[in-house]
Amino acid sequence: MKKAGSSPDNLTFPFVAKACAKISDLKLSQSIHAHVFKSPFWSDIFVGTAVINMFVKCNELDFEHKVFEKMPKRDVTLWNAMLLGFAQLGSVDSFLVVFREMRLLGFVPDFVTIIGLTQSVVELKNVNLVKGVHAFGIRVGMLNDVSLVNTLISCYSTCGDLVSAEGMFDGIYSESRTIVSWNSLIAGHALVRNYYKTLHLYRFMSNDGHKPDISTFLSLLSSCVQPEGLSHGKLIHSHVIQFGCDYDVAVTNTLLTMYSKCGDIDSAWHLFQSMTYKTCISWTAMISSYAVKGCLDKAYSLFLDMERAGEKPDVVTLLSLLSGCGQTGSLELGKWLEDYACFNGLRGNVMVCNAIVDMYAKCGHVDKAKEVFYSIPSKTVVSWTTMISGLALNGEFIEALELFSKMVELGLKPNRITFLAILQACIHTGFLDKGMKCFDLMTYII
């Protein structure tokens, strides 16, 4: 078009920006922005909104903000583009600052603004902020929209306030409830592993005439990941097949995880073998299942099969095997896994290092555990706790107490497991005064 001598107008640029957004190409987006800026349409709200959306898709908040700041005129749509960009990229503080500015300048938020606001506050998992959005929605008269109510149900559920989530749900007229309404509430109870409540809601949903979808089954199955939920998980499995959702890899992986965590290895293995397409999650769930049961030979064999199948093991795969090595005292396999982690660039991951420390400590090689611990450049609370627990496990109680003191001096906050290890060390060494101080500190911190 440019080569032919034609100039793009305020209708052309938004289409081009939308195309760039779809492929998330930053360099191309910057080039389009340069053309827009040189054109007489750089101040057009329609064009500006499209350019902001384009940079959002490229995860570029700085460019997004620069375009927004240069716009001489703004409408609610432009503000929404800016706000949704912050919401989608998880920049909650920036969202709230811009939202406040929007309100001070007299712009009235619309439905899209409120959706963006709920997306932002849920990132903080602060129920008071969610209640603030809820109150604001009531004030501006937008809670008659079921999709906004569904979003608030999801927000309350994510924040753990299931009473408020159920209150929102009950406030929707029965005929206005959608599958999203039911899924949002079921997902909330699934987060706390309440399989009884999720199945209860599922039954009511079915009676209400709603057909379950993949999201429904993912939540139902994830609520059954404890041994006492196995029979319910099997019932849901039959419904998965009945409604033709067993083709979905996310559902089959969740089924596999459910059987594994419920301790039903036979059902997990049968399902695993029947899968035509296995992902890293599928292999890891099966490997973890055998590792937890102490069947390290089978877990290791599957690990090798996974590599031969062309599926690269990830951090979670490695963690499950290292945990199994610690439980069974399989030192040689643990050493091999450490070498594997080094060779495949996973040794720099702090979770892998923590697992290696734990493995060596549980296998009785506390010196090797200390060597790995002191090599970790950015130690977390889990790193310190793992080493302290390892020292206590191997009878090195004095050193465990010294390491705990150093941890506290560095300003790190011990957790419950840290305190259990330290109290054990105090009991074995007879340091009752230190034990009482640790107990006082524990009651203050936790």
Cβ neighbours of 408 (radius 10 Å): 16
Q: Looking at 325, 359, 378, which one is the last position of a domain?
A: 378
User: 411, 345, 349, 358: which is closest to 385 by C-alpha?
Assistant: 358
What pLDDT is recorded for position 408?
A: 83
Q: Residue 429 pLDDT > 60, yes or no?
A: no
Q: Look at residue 178 and tell me if it is in a domain.
A: no
The answer on 369 and 282 residing in a single domain is yes
The answer on 231 and 248 residing in a single domain is yes
- Of 89-93, 172-176, 297-301, 430-434, where does mean pLDDT reach its minimum? 430-434
Percent of the chain with pLDDT over 90: 49
Q: Look at residue 117 and tell me if it is in a domain.
A: no
Q: Looking at 213, 232, 265, which one is the last position of a domain?
A: 265
pLDDT top residue among 207 and 71: 207
pLDDT top residue among 217 and 438: 217
- Of 76-80, 246-250, 363-367, 381-385, where does mean pLDDT reach its minimum? 76-80
Q: Is 390 exposed, middle or buried (0-12, 13-18, 19+ CB in 10 A)?
A: buried
Report phi then psi at 442, rounded to 5: -65, -45
**What dihedral do alpha carbons 344, 350, 356, 360 form, nearest 10°?**
150
**Domain with 446 in it:** 380-446
- Domains identified in the chain, total number: 3
> How confident is the model over 7-62, as pLDDT tens digits?
666 677 777 777 777 777 777 777 777 777 777 766 777 787 888 878 877 877 77
The answer on 223 and 206 residing in a single domain is yes
pLDDT averaged over every residue in the chain: 86
Q: pLDDT band for position 441 (50/70/90)?
A: low
Which run of H or E residues covers position 116?
helix 111-124
Q: Residue 368 pLDDT > 80, yes or no?
A: yes
The answer on 299 and 219 residing in a single domain is no
Q: Residue 250 pLDDT > 80, yes or no?
A: yes
Q: Look at residue 167 and tell me if it is in a domain.
A: no
Q: Look at residue 273 and tell me if it is in a domain.
A: no
Three-state secondary structure readout of the chain? CCCCCCCCCCCHHHHHHHHHHHHCCHHHHHHHHHHHHHCCCCCCHHHHHHHHHHHHHCCCHHHHHHHHHHCCCCCHHHHHHHHHHHHHCCCHHHHHHHHHHHHHCCCCCCHHHHHHHHHHHHHHCCHHHHHHHHHHHHHCCCCCCHHHHHHHHHHHHHCCCHHHHHHHHHCCCHHHCCHHHHHHHHHHHHHCCCHHHHHHHHHHHHHCCCCCCHHHHHHHHHCCCCHHHHHHHHHHHHHHHHCCCCCCHHHHHHHHHHHHHCCCHHHHHHHHHHCCCCCHHHHHHHHHHHHHCCCHHHHHHHHHHHHHCCCCCCHHHHHHHHHHHHHHCCHHHHHHHHHHHHHCCCCCCHHHHHHHHHHHHHCCCHHHHHHHHHHCCCCCHHHHHHHHHHHHHCCCHHHHHHHHHHHHHCCCCCCHHHHHHHHHHHHHHCCHHHHHHHHHHHHHHC
Q: Residue 240 pLDDT > 80, yes or no?
A: yes
> How confident is the model over 102-159, as pLDDT tens digits?
888 888 888 777 877 777 777 777 788 788 888 888 887 877 888 889 989 998 998 8
Q: Look at residue 2 and tell me if it is in a domain.
A: no
> How confident is the model over 258-276, as pLDDT tens digits?
999 999 999 999 999 999 8
What pLDDT is recorded for position 93?
A: 77
403 with 384: CB under 8 angstroms? yes
Q: Residue 445 pLDDT > 60, yes or no?
A: no
- CATH value at residue 348: 1.25.40
pTM for this predicted structure: 0.77
115 with 95: CB under 8 angstroms? no
Q: Look at residue 77 and tell me if it is in a domain.
A: no
The answer on 429 and 367 residing in a single domain is no
The answer on 285 and 241 residing in a single domain is no
The answer on 331 and 369 residing in a single domain is yes
Report phi then psi at 111, rounded to 5: -60, -45
